[in-house]
Amino acid sequence: MDHFHYKDGTLHAEEVALSDIAAEVGTPFYCYSTATLTRHFALFQEALEGLPHLICFAMKSNSNQAVIRTLAALGAGMDVVSIGEYLRAKAAGVPGERIVFSGVGKTREDMRAALLGGIRQFNVESEPELRALSAEASALGLRAPITLRINPDVDARTHEKIATGKKENKFGIPISRARAVYAEAAALPGIEVVGIDVHIGSQLTELEPFEEAYQKVADLTIALRADGHDIRRLDLGGGLGIPYTRSNEAPPLPLDYGALIKRTLGHLGCEIEIEPGRLISGNAGVLVSQVIWVKQGEGRDFLIVDAAMNDLVRPSMYGAHHDIVPLIEPAVGAAPHSFDVVGPVCETGDTFAKDRALTDLAEGDLVAFRSAGAYGAVMASEYNTRPLIPEVLVHGAEFAVIRPRPSYDEMINRDIIPKWL
């Protein structure tokens, strides 16, 4: 469920007409719903009720500080994968004890900054990282709380570019070496082992891969405790998928996911951490765009809109589907019109949809790309010297621009001409 709906014939975000936002800020723009963010976070809280837990929002899905602060006020922690995301979380008021630091390429500088700024835990991905963290923490006279990210060799049954739990993926320590690496970690100065971390992929639409991975985590927990380790925290990653199409084939619900966690891991007495991103933010956002031209091609019509692949790269990068709907509600029984929906960038890859059945649209009409709140603005670029587009947050009948569109002068003046030119 989300809070984007037609009211009086016009698509609204909560109580605000998206056309009113377009009139004020221009197109294209991203719009997020506070009510939807809040509801989705609450679903995970409900799903894990009865277990000690912390829900750490995966900031890589949407790192706008207004979104982060909204979720932090509800009690969310943050999962960060760079020191930049760490600093964003801190700037938004998230305390270090609610931030977990993931990622395969943490530098020594990153480690020092997080140790000094405060951190809940490092999810360590390799032996070299572990040894470097030991050295940095020891030099500061601190102890670094860690989990080891275990690669369970489980097929997540998702897109190959977002699968992370198979042995050929770059992530984590092979489960076959886990006990040996935990033994090394326990012997290193400046290291405090607190638990196990696992994350097998993104946009999972079945529970079976989670169950297979979590059962391996349960078995490993028992083995590590027998080895003398105090395993008291299990970070289970994220990855639960969202419906990108309006159909009856919806992914599992957070309540089903929570029941699985309780069934496979609840008997261990561990604190549970999960790192949802897409399921909290994905359907909490839309991308609004205006039709520039309708172009007749050879055997097809092109709907050329003012959003492009630099604004929303998922269709180009992953072949991803986003429902596209007009801001003016179509009349009942309106005849569909098939379009290839494309942007203005000078690449054939700048295509959002092919042969998509929409209503008849014309120059100046507004459309919304649904399910655009995750991996949208965060993956945007200024390719073709196109400005990053505004982000807008709606709260009931109010809205605010939470990232403005830069001017062309601002973009151009970031460049520095060397003195010899």
Q: What are the sequence ranges of the domains in the chain?
A: 4-31+282-412, 34-280
CA distance linking residue 379 with residue 383, whole number of Å: 12
Name the amino acid, one letter, at 51. Answer: L
Residue 209: pLDDT over 90: no
Strand-pair category, 285-296 with 233-235: unpaired
Q: What is the mean pLDDT of the chain?
A: 93
What's the pLDDT at 251?
Answer: 81
Residue 92's pLDDT is: 96
Say what the pLDDT of residue 155 is: 63
Percent of the chain surpassing pLDDT 70: 95
pLDDT > 90? residue 354: yes
- At residue 158, the pLDDT reads 58
Which CATH code is given to the segment(s) 34-280? 3.20.20.10
Specify the pLDDT at position 387: 98
* Local confidence band at 168 (pLDDT 50, 70, 90 cut-offs): low
pLDDT-derived band at 243 (thresholds 50, 70, 90) equals: confident
Q: Quick check: 70 pLDDT over 60?
A: yes
Positions marked active-site: 346
Report pLDDT for 296.
93
| Residue 167 clears pLDDT 90, i.e. is over it | no
- CATH topology for 4-31+282-412 is Lyase, Ornithine Decarboxylase; Chain A, domain 1 (2.40.37)
The confidence score (pLDDT) of residue 239 equals 78
Q: What is the pLDDT of residues 146-158, one digit of tens each?
A: 999 998 877 655 5
pLDDT in tens, 245-296: 766 567 888 999 999 999 999 999 999 999 999 999 999 999 999 999 999 9
- Please tell me the predicted confidence (pLDDT) of residue 147: 97
Residue 102 is predicted with a pLDDT of: 96
pLDDT band at residue 164 under the 50/70/90 scheme: low
How far is the C-alpha of 245 from the C-alpha of 356, rounded, in Å?
Answer: 13
* Predicted pLDDT at 254: 93
pLDDT per residue as tens digits for the range 293-325: 999 988 899 999 999 999 999 999 999 999 999
Tens of pLDDT, residue by residue over 82-131, are: 999 999 999 999 999 999 999 999 999 999 999 999 999 999 999 999 99
Range in 39-48, 172-181, 263-272 with the lowest mean pLDDT: 172-181
Residues 182/224, Cβ–Cβ less than 8 Å: yes
Average pLDDT for 131-147: 98
Residue 162: predicted pLDDT: 57
- Higher pLDDT, residue 78 or 173: 78
pLDDT of 169 > 70? The answer is no
Model confidence band, residue 240 (pLDDT cutoffs 50, 70, 90): confident
Please report the pLDDT score of residue 249 as a whole number.
64
